[in-house]
Chain A
Amino acid sequence: MRLLIFIIPILFFACSDAYLNIKSDQSITTPSKLSDYRAMMDNSLSFFNNGGAYSLSMCSSDEFYLMTPQWQAINDQVQRNVYIFATDIFGEVQSSQDWNENYQRIMVCNMVIEHLEKYDKKAEEVNEWNEIFGSALFFRAFNYYQLAQVFCPPYVYNDNRTHRFLGLPLRLAYDVTLSVERSDLHMTYQQIIKDLNESIDLLPNKTINNLRPSRQAAYALLARIHLLIGDFAEAKQLAELTLGISDDVYDFSQLNTSNRYSFPTDYGESNSEIIFFASTGSILAHSRVRMHVDEELYKLYENDDLRKIVYYDNGTIDNIYFRGSLFGNSPVFIGLTIGEMLLIRAECNAREGLYDDVSRDLSKLRRMRFTNGGEVSIADFGEDPILFVLQERRRELAFRGLRWEDLRRLNRENKYAKTIEREIQGISYKLLPNDSRYTFPLPNDVVSLGGYPQNNRD
């Protein structure tokens, strides 16, 4: 009897951890099953595939211009500042969506990655686990890649100086209490490339919809990144791998251009050219009541180029504005397409002097951009076949957020470098090639709450 009295409490409470490890509220769903993580990664159109770090760069790039009254009408101090290349773009404004939302997506990726690493998967779950894990790696890389184009200086592969440049804070664990310092630029790109390479091994060639990242999407994004860091050989190879999976080009002559927006709003379902579908909110300056498309860009289109009507229309203030987002509405398409891959391969081939290959790829694309013809041959290239490809690239990839990266990378080559000029209230503003203002400052709250060193823009 007496013995029992001492033993009971020990038995009673011995496994207290197990006893306490029960949910306090049944409706709290703490992700624990594979289907929970799948659902988290499928939060696509309101989270992962919607939004990106483009509002600053799109506002600063040279695809459009504004007149003073429309500039004044922009109800966003930061976007007004960015347009005129101000050194201090944020002023009193504390935070930036470009930073916040991308890091929010990165946090969810980290949460899924960390939970999946601990997940005890059964044999029949391996494929599912791989795809979810690969998705999380892909999206983490996709978001870091976008941030690096805005908040880090341009990166050049094989350039040792990049170790001295500031990269991004690389958060790779979801514990929000950990603090992480800014990495160097080289590390930032190495992490992006590493995540994508790993995801290639895990993702299936194609996924059930193009909102879920596939192996093809990972190849395509890697191709884009290698092009922008100047690794043309690798970029070409990756573009080839991408196109090896599929290379359909969408026929623009099928489109009904009488609608306000040219493309159907079906998240790319009917457009087999889309490898990966993602979009971000349009900036205020791009509204049809404000924007004037850059005259130099508009002049690049031949009269029978379908893109001239598919992409552009008359606005409300005697202007021509862009309306051709593959989203089929105002959000900007920032995803990956076969067209872009053909252009990457063409540019790499042009740089290698393989002009026949260039004309083959450009013709394949252009055939679907003209009602009749559109094919090009070496004779059409003129003095500089590379410039010809770059012009085709401007025509095809207008208003996809890619122009900013192109400006940054092409500034390295004097031939293609460009000075952007603006005029507002009679004052002209210039952004010279390789200007430090090609790298935006970190938002104020990020610096004050995170204690990171600020980018130098003076």
Chain B
Amino acid sequence: MRGIIILLIFFSLHVNVHAQTTITVVDSITRLPLAGVSFLDSQNKGIGITDAMGKINVAKEKVGEKWIITHLNYKTKQIQLTTDTIPNVIVLVPANNEVEEVVVSTGYYKLPKERATGSFEHISNKMLDRSVGENLLEKLEGLAPGLQFVNSNGNNSSDIRIRGLATIESDASPLIVLDNFPYEGSLSNIDPNSIESITILKDAAAASIWGARAGNGVIVLTSKGGQKDIGFSASAKTSITIQKKPDFYYGKGWLPSKVVLDIERENEKNGIYGNDNNITVPMFVEQIRRFDRGEIDEAELMVYYDDYSSIDTRREVEKYLYREATNKQTYITMQGTANKTSYRTSVAFNEALGERIGDSNTRLSMGLGVVRNLFKDFYLDWSLGYVSQHRKSNGIGIAQLDVGSIVGISPYIRVVDDKGQPASVQVSGLNYNYASQASEQGLLNWDYVPIEDRDLKDISSQSREFKFDIQLRGTVWKDLKFQSGYQFLGSNSSGHSHYFKNSYYVRNLVNRFTQPNGSLIIPHNGVLLGGNPTETASHYGRIQLTYDKETQLGPINVLVGSDIRHATQEIFPGSVLYNYDDEYLVGTNQFNFNQNYAVKPVGTQRIPNGSAKHELLTHRDISYYFNGAYQMLNKFLISSSMRWDGSNLFGVKANQRGVPLWSIGGSWLLHNEGFFKSNMFDLFKLRLTYGISGNVNKTISHYPVVIFGTDLTGLTSARVASVGNPSLRWEKVRTVNGGMDVGARRLGLNISVDAYLKNGSDLIGPDYMDPTTGVIGQYKINYADIVTRGVDMKVRGDWGIFRNARVGATFNFSFVRNEIKEFSTNPDVSVISYLQGDPAPVKGRSKDAIYSYPTSGLNPQNGLPLIYIDGQVSDRYATYHRQFNTVEDLKVSGVTIPTMYGSCMPHISMGNLELSALFLYKGGYVFRRSSMSPIGEERGNYHDDYFRRWVKPGDEQTTDVARKISLDEVDSEIRAATSVYEFGQDRITDGDLVRLQDINLTYRIPLGGNAKRFVKNISVAAYARNLGLVWRKNNHGIDPDFPTSFYRTPSIWAGAITLQF
């Protein structure tokens, strides 16, 4: 150290003597000298460029007040210097290096991650830009430990769990904060390009400043704003994404046409299908009936049989109804500083064509952000944002070909006939043969031709969102600063369905309402249905004082403030116009909507009317908060936050009680301790935090609620729908978090480990009240309890292998488990409801538990599940089922949400080329796979397991698929084997998997001297996503993220170009 000082003195002497100084520029990480670094003066005039050894000689007279040091791959550095402080070494930080100082934002304040006590995850702009896509949230999967996607590729906050669960019956979605205030608009309105960075607040010290809404974790989005920048800069980015057509051959719920035809013939023989005009029967059955009526002969029937056998609906659908979905994105932004004002404007345009032909979505986003220095250090920041979206949903997909019970999606549907003309297909609830005779009955043509119908309607929805922020900040007195802000977020959305005159919708409605005497009720013309328009408006206000002081021992940072919010959502009634002519925009709604008309084929019906729903929801909150941090001797950090919330969702009792939500945290910077002598670590930090945050259940009222009606006497009467709960209050989430951050730059390693325990208490749950209170059955009160334990780990390595090449990888790993500690389960809930659908929570179990019958294998005698009654092998399946009196008797077969998940992102860079890939891992969970039900044929439920069914004794050695139960086996004891099979533990399948989520290849095009004058930087990127499974534990060919779907999200291929000016 002393040597350097002497050297420095020597150099400065040298400078003084020779009026020239030599400066070496090095990389901040590798410490290698950097060639080609430009030195500019404050007028942007060149001073010089470093040589191959990274050295530059600067003449004494060139030493101005400010130097700007730039290099393509490094962050531009400005140095303010006087003649006597010329450094001999200048360190440049690589422009794309994550080891740089990370600043996290809570929405109330920003702080360097190194100075935090809490558990934060920071997702940088570079990581966000790495993936190409129109939705923000889906980009986050796999990027942070503790961030779990419950629905793969989801883009709603409800698709996400941050560190597991902290509630049972309330909303478990994390809070999304956009530009300092909670964002309650649609996440699809956020253009990912507009987001600068994302901070995820995981523990109490990080999140409890958000108080009553922080219990599920917080995701803080920070928009790119006006920056104090040098001069003018602009960038443009354009990308195109192509998604492959879905692979319909993935789904297991399918049998070849020929097999299904034979089943259908058998079913028809057994009279499974009804014979009414409102019943859809398989096409082949229609032909059999024609044969029975003598309309066709046996040879013709065989022609149909052979023809239908040759059709595969999946092929038809893939060819005629789906396409490669594309998405074109353009993003242009400009920023600059003029006088005392810096500004930034951006325009983004997104045009997507959906995978179903006829679906599309466009989104236009515009933004303007201005930072104006008023006087001294008083600033006025304001920004405007506008997003408009337009969506068309005219497509017809495979799901729309499902005609319901017994038939389902027929495997031999033709959407285009053998002459290449669009063909008609069956519809639900209408017999094909009956409908095809419509014209002879004097009705309109009743054929449904999907490919034509796609163009005979316009189903669209649009939304607009407007955002306005304004903030005034400045110094009040010495170290005391204030900040006051206001945000308005307004949006409206609406939708309409316009069916043209010849659309199936109109013809069907006209025909159905044609009266027995032939008179029409519905005019044969267009129909315009208006959805429920929705308007939202939220106003936020904030006043905040901050006190930042450097004391002799270390800095103190304190902030206090208050938030106020008023948000409304109003849903307006829908509308309907018949006899609609879109040329003149005229139609009529002069109908008697209360009259029941006779409809074809059977029954009575009222004329469809617009929705009469009208709703106005108002949400008001007031909050006061405090946050303080103190750093002592550069070794200890202490932080604390406190918050009080009031809300109109709660009664005066809860609001006056005013239990503040709070947190406290500390960390110890071991690497700064004298006794911790290690050259290895430049960061060794231990963290410990504890705190309480809250969660809100909006579905329960503290008020008594009455519903009005009319009694039989004609008087207005009111029924008490809910007695209200005057003691309703916030749910509380206590979190304790211990963590360790280790940085060993020399080894190229960064490690963070966090272990936490979250205890959600005072949770809303059903209480079974003493009926004497007058409350019969469930009464929701705050009493339930859930505990979530987990570990989050992140390991990052980055190593230079030779001059321009680096390799590295980031590993994220999380472990999480929850257990319900207190919950009253309704004893009247039938056991079967725990097997079907979402099971009710049970004390002592995971919220995500899945149950099954403890049966394993097949009975060698009868090919049905092997069960025991009183220790004896039995075939009394209904009796067996009745033995399960409570949920305790069922087997807990695991949980349906991964208890272990993580990711690995290896990257390699070589000069201007960079390659990275993201692998996702999920484990420690199961799912219930579907199979061929023993009575699947008569229900029209088909499955690939059909071919593996037990047929004869001995088959149980090689298969676990139960035999068919034929129709003549009427014994209810035997037929009950169906549900024992479906919910037997043999159907429970391990979900563990490794998926290659995406790959990114980026190349920064080196620019020659002339080009550089116009363009600072050009980079091109190739990107691919949803690249499939690398490994899965189950050997049933099922992707556990899509256990029962027809197809998986297809892979996406994208290219992008970014230009910076």
Asked whether A and B interact, the reply is yes
Within 537-563 of B, Cβ neighbours of A (below 8 Å) are at 541, 543, 562
B779 within 8 A of A: yes
- Given known A-B contacts A24-B701, A176-B769, A449-B771, A29 and B482 have beta carbons under 8 A apart: no
Residues on the A chain within 8 Å of B779, using CB? 176
Q: Are B774 and A104 in contact (CB under 8 A)?
A: yes
Instruction: Among A13, A24, A108, point to the contact of B564 (Cβ < 8 A).
Output: A13
Among A37-45, A237-245, A292-300, the stretch that binds chain B is A37-45
- Closest Cβ of chain B to A6, distance in Å, is 9
* Chain B residues whose CB sits within 8 angstroms of the CB of A28 once the complex forms: 701, 703, 705
Name B480's closest neighbour in chain A (CB-CB): A2
A16 lies within 8 A of B622 (CB): yes
Q: Which of A44, A169, A449 contacts B768 (CB 8 A)?
A: A449
Interfacial residues of chain A within 173-214, with CB under 8 A of chain B in the complex: 174-177, 179-180, 209, 211
Q: Would you give the shortest CB distance from A12 to chain B, in whole angstroms?
A: 7
Q: Tell me the complex Cα distance, A279–B745, Å.
A: 85
Given that A46-B719, A104-B776 are contacting pairs, would A26 and B652 also be in contact in the complex, using a CB cutoff of 8 Å? no
Q: Are A29 and B708 in contact (CB under 8 A)?
A: yes
Taking a contact as CB atoms closer than 8 A, the residue among B707, B723, B725 that contacts A29 in the complex is: B707
B45 CB-CB contact with A under 8 Å = no
Q: In whole angstroms, what is the CA distance A5 to B719 when docked? A: 50
CB distance from B184 to the nearest CB of A (A): 14
- Give the residue name and chain of the B residue nearest to A5 (CB): B482
Q: Which of A46, A103, A108 contacts B771 (CB 8 A)?
A: A103
The reply on A424 being an interface residue by CB < 8 A is no
**Interface status of A30 (Cβ within 8 A of chain B):** yes
Given A24-B649, A25-B615, A31-B704 in contact, is the A44-B774 Cβ separation under 8 Å?
Answer: no
Task: Name the residue of chain A whose CB is nearest to the CB of B562.
Answer: A9
Q: Which chain A residues border B477 with CB–CB below 8 Å?
A: 2
Contact between B618 and A20, CB atoms less than 8 A apart: no
Residue B1007 lies at the interface, judged by CB distance under 8 Å to chain A: no
Chain B stretch 648-663: residues in CB contact (< 8 A) with chain A: 648-649, 652, 655-656
Known: A9-B543, A12-B564, A108-B774. A175 touches B726 (CB 8 A): yes
Nearest-neighbour CB distance to chain A for B444, whole angstroms, equals 41
- Given contacts A99-B772, A104-B774, A171-B772, whether A40 and B720 have CB atoms under 8 Å apart is yes
B616 contacts A by Cβ under 8 Å:
yes
Residue contact A5 to B476, C-beta cutoff 8 Å:
yes
Question: Which residues of A have CB within 8 Å of B713?
Answer: 42, 44-45, 209, 211, 267
- Docked complex Cα distance between A40 and B484 (Å): 48
Which single member of B618, B701, B716, B769 contacts A26 (CB below 8 Å)?
B618
A36 adjacent to B618 (CB under 8 Å): no
In Å, the complex CA distance between A285 and B903 comes to 68
- Alpha-carbon distance A135/B201, docked complex (angstroms): 56
Contacts of A179 in B (CB 8 A): 770
Are the CB atoms of A36 and B706 closer together than 8 Å? yes
Q: In the complex, which residues of chain B have a beta carbon less than 8 angstroms from the beta carbon of A2? A: 476-477
CB atoms of B620 and A103 under 8 A apart: no
Cβ 8 A contact of B647, one of A20, A105, A175, A452? A20
A398 contacts chain B at the CB level, 8 A cutoff? no
Could you tell me if B717 and A43 are in contact, using CB atoms closer than 8 angstroms? yes
Which residues of A lie under 8 Å from residue B701 when comparing CB positions?
A: 24-25, 28, 30
Q: Name the B residues within 8 Å of A46 (CB-CB).
A: 711, 717, 719
Do B774 and A106 touch across chains, with their CB atoms under 8 A apart?
Answer: yes
Chain B residue nearest in CB terms to A450: B770
Q: B746 near A: Cβ within 8 Å?
A: no
A45 and B648 contact, Cβ closer than 8 Å, known pairs A108-B774, A176-B769: no
- Partner of B772 from the list A25, A39, A94, A103 (CB cut-off 8 Å) is A103
Chain A residues with a Cβ closer than 8 Å to the other chain, count: 62
Report A-chain residues with C-beta under 8 Å of the C-beta of B775: 104, 107, 176
Residues of A contacting B771 with CB < 8 Å?
95, 99-100, 103-104, 443, 445-446, 449-450
Interface centre among A13, A21, A110 (most CB of B within 10 A): A13
For chain B, residues 721 to 740, give those with C-beta under 8 angstroms from any C-beta of chain A: 723-727
B724 to chain A: closest residue by CB: A30
CA distance A445 to B707 in the complex (A): 28
Whole-angstrom CA separation of A452 from B771 in the bound complex: 12
CB distance from B373 to the nearest CB of A (A): 17
**A43 touching B768 in the complex, CB below 8 Å, given contacts A22-B648, A26-B616:** no
CB pair B617–A24 under 8 Å, yes or no, is: yes
In the complex, the answer to whether A47 meets B615 with C-beta atoms within 8 Å is: no
Interface residues of A in 420-450 (CB under 8 A from B): 443, 445-446, 449-450
Closest to B650 in A: A20
Instruction: Known A16-B646, A443-B771; judge A29-B706 contact (CB<8 A).
Output: yes
| With contact pairs A28-B701, A43-B711 given, residues A108 and B772 touching in the complex (Cβ less than 8 Å) | no
Q: Nearest A residue to B566 by beta-carbon distance?
A: A19
* A176 in contact with B774 (CB, 8 Å): yes
Q: How far is the CA of A247 from the CA of B154 in the complex (A)?
A: 74
Is the Cβ of A449 less than 8 Å from the Cβ of B704?
no
Assess whether A111 is interfacial by the CB under 8 Å rule.
Answer: yes
Report if B293 contacts A (CB, 8 A). Answer: no
Closest chain A residue, CB of each to CB of B647: A20
> Contact mask B752-776 → A, CB, 8 Å, 1/0?
0000000000000000111111111
Q: Is the C-beta of B698 less than 8 angstroms from some C-beta in chain A?
A: yes
**A371→B435 CA distance, assembly (Å):** 66
B59 contacts chain A at the CB level, 8 A cutoff: no
- Return chain B residues, CB-CB under 8 Å to A177: 726-727, 781
Q: B715 at interface (Cβ–Cβ under 8 A)?
A: yes
CB proximity of B882 to chain A, nearest CB, Å: 15
Contact, CB under 8 Å: A180 / B476 = no
Complex formed: what's the CA distance from A209 to B417 in Å? 71
- 1/0 per residue, CB under 8 A from A, across B598-634: the answer is 0000000000000000011111111010000000000
Interface residue A122 (Cβ < 8 Å from any Cβ of B): no
Q: B704 — which chain A residues lie within 8 A by C-beta?
A: 30-31, 111
Interface positions, chain B 772-798, Cβ under 8 Å from A, are 772-776, 779, 781
Q: Does A379 contact B (CB under 8 A)?
A: no
| CB-defined contacts of B564 to chain A, threshold 8 Å | 12-13, 19
| B541 close to A103 (CB less than 8 A) | no
Chain A residue nearest to B715 (CB atoms) is A42
Checking B624, B655, B773 against A20 with a beta-carbon cut-off of 8 angstroms, the contacting residue is B655
**A118 CB contacts on chain B under 8 angstroms:** none
Complex Cα–Cα for A107 and B779 (A): 14
Give bound CA distance, A45 to B717, whole Å.
10
B718 at the interface (CB under 8 A from A): yes
Chain B residues with CB under 8 Å of A26's CB are 615-618
Quick check: is A8 within 8 A (CB to CB) of the other chain?
yes
- Residue B399 is within 8 A (CB to CB) of chain A in the complex: no
CB of A23 within 8 A of chain B? yes
* Cα A19 to Cα B648 with chains together (Å): 8
Asked if B299 is an interface residue, CB under 8 A from chain A, the answer is no
The closest CB in chain B to the CB of A1 belongs to B476
Whether a CB of chain A sits under 8 angstroms from the CB of B712 is yes
| Docked pose: A451 CA to B713 CA in angstroms | 40
Cβ of B773 and Cβ of A171 under 8 Å apart?
yes
User: Which of B369-408 touch A at CB < 8 Å?
Assistant: none
On chain A, the residues within 8 Å of B616 by CB distance are 25-27
A449, B562: Cβ atoms closer than 8 Å:
no
From known contacts A2-B476, A20-B655, A24-B649, infer whether A30 and B705 are also in contact, taking CB-CB under 8 Å: yes
A125 contacts the other chain (CB 8 A): no
20 pairs from A and B in contact (CB 8 Å cutoff): A2-B477, A5-B476, A5-B484, A17-B655, A20-B646, A23-B703, A25-B615, A27-B615, A27-B616, A28-B703, A29-B708, A30-B701, A39-B718, A44-B715, A104-B776, A105-B774, A107-B720, A108-B774, A174-B774, A449-B771
User: Which residues of A line the B interface, CB within 8 A?
Assistant: 2, 5, 8-9, 12-13, 16-17, 19-31, 35-36, 38-40, 42-47, 94-95, 99-100, 103-108, 110-111, 169, 171, 174-177, 179-180, 209, 211, 267, 443, 445-446, 449-452
User: 12 more A-B contacts (CB under 8 A) besides A20-B647, A30-B705, A30-B706?
Assistant: A8-B543, A9-B562, A27-B616, A42-B713, A47-B717, A103-B772, A107-B773, A174-B774, A176-B774, A445-B771, A446-B770, A446-B771
